[in-house]
Amino acid sequence: MRIATWNVNSIRSRQEHLLAWLERSRPDVVGLQETKVPDGDFPHEPLAALGYQAAVSGQKTYNGVALLSPHGLEDVRVGFAALLPGDAEAEALGEQRRVISAWVEGVRIVDLYVPNGSALDSDKFAYKLAWLGCLHRYLDVQRAQGEPFCVLGDFNIAPEARDLHDPAGLEGGIMASDAEREALRACLGEDLQDAFRLFEPDAGHWSWWDYRGGGWPRNRGWRIDHVYLCPLLQERAMGCSIDRDERGRERPSDHAPVIVELADEPDGEDPEA
């Protein structure tokens, strides 16, 4: 099973890139972020022509998440409130379309677009920490479902110094602060593990290169797009890679896809056994 995440930074601008990539890579499920279109404008038809069903939660101009799969998307859940009914903060945070999940081929896929936070002294940073606190509650409920699950998306957080092109200059700032990292670790708990770090311990691997400041030609990147696996899926993990080629195309997204390969579950095996 091939599971991918990609912040496309506008489905309108990157539609042809996405269609070509799907045809080449054929993932079994992909989570998209920053689709930036209301649901009625999402390009269902060209995706269906490639065999992909889409579940979407979008809004005009900003944010937006989607899940794509050629195998069908079951039990689609939109927003934090899907698992946190009656939670006023979850309802309020749902105004920004950043969370969607679905059941695909025996796995619960949770697709997230975590707020950027802008600056440590801004209201947007306080919003980001509140959002991560709500994610913590959401994932605790998800764990209690007893489903094999993975959490993927653009986390807008570099978990460690090795995930930064310039640790000395960037550590402690936005997307690399102690507060953000601690909030993320609390969400992940002891069970969810970073799929990329199961296979690659070294620094120098990025998933996002800022359009500004020559980020791509100078290879000044960050690793902020992640796939986290529950213990059952960690046992099936065969590899994880970042498709840098997509960042080098004409008019690309500033993010590259991240792909995890899982071994098929043996026939008849009970995942709860």
Catalytic positions are 113, 154
Return d(Cα 208, Cα 256) in angstroms, integer. Answer: 6
What gap in Å lies between CA 12 and CA 37, rounded to an integer? 8
Task: Name, in order, each residue with C-beta under 8 angstroms of 10's C-beta and a sequence gap of 6 or more.
Answer: 34, 35, 36, 37, 253
Question: Among 257, 252, 229, 255, which Cα is nearest to 241's?
Answer: 257
What whole-number distance in Å separates Cα of residue 225 and Cα of residue 214? 20
Question: Secondary structure of 212-232 in the HEC alphabet?
Answer: HHHCCCCCCEECCEEEEECHH
Q: How far apart, in whole angstroms, are the C-alpha atoms of residue 79 and residue 99?
A: 5
